[in-house]
Amino acid sequence: MCAGCCYVTRELSEIGAICPCGAAIISHYGGQLVQKVTIFVMDDARTQMARQFIEHLPHCAALGMSLEQIGDGQAEILMPYAEKLIGDPETGVIHGGAISALMDTCAGAAVMSHPRAGISTATLDLRIDYMRAAKPGATITAHAICYHVTRAVAFVRVSATDGASDVPVAAATGAFTVERGAS
């Protein structure tokens, strides 16, 4: 199984295999495959515009998010560690709420970059699984893949990593609205 988009196929059991979502399998853990994602990158001007847009959303700016990559239904957003984000003062671990906000933003960005999605989107539903505490001091990277779009709904998977382990800090699945302009 591809850990990025959860696509299941026997061919993906080998290291180096490429999933249809663009991810390359680089290692195994706990029966699941971890992949290094190669994102189809939009041309610089569009990426720059998307970055400007997302980094200027007030709440994203407040949490210090920065857009790393976007295009073709995928997005990667970073959130550097900051004291104001701490949820457990004893350990310095970031609060889950900040990670939720990061994953929600990243999922929305992935939807907006999908060629078949509309001009804007809103979250319908987001289910977040917190697998482990994030390493204090580490930047959190969220990676989202919009893996299916219907006329009304876009489906997204998101994972958040801290670079300390192959096991993500959190994973989420979401459904987003597809907003069509007046036709």
Under rule CB under 8 A, which residues in 96-135 are in contact with other proteins? Answer: 96-98, 100-105, 108, 120, 122-130, 133
| Residues 129/121, Cβ–Cβ less than 8 Å | no
Binding-site residue total for other proteins (CB under 8 A)?
A: 38
Verify binding: residue 49, other proteins, rule CB under 8 A: no
Long-range contacts of the stretch 119-123 (C-beta < 8 A, 24+): 119/179, 119/180, 119/181, 120/179, 121/154, 121/176, 121/177, 121/178, 121/179, 122/176, 122/177, 122/179, 123/174, 123/175, 123/176, 123/177
Verify binding: residue 79, other proteins, rule CB under 8 A: no
CB closer to other proteins out of 48 and 120 = 120
Contacting residues toward other proteins, per CB under 8 A: 57-63, 83-90, 94-98, 100-105, 108, 120, 122-130, 133
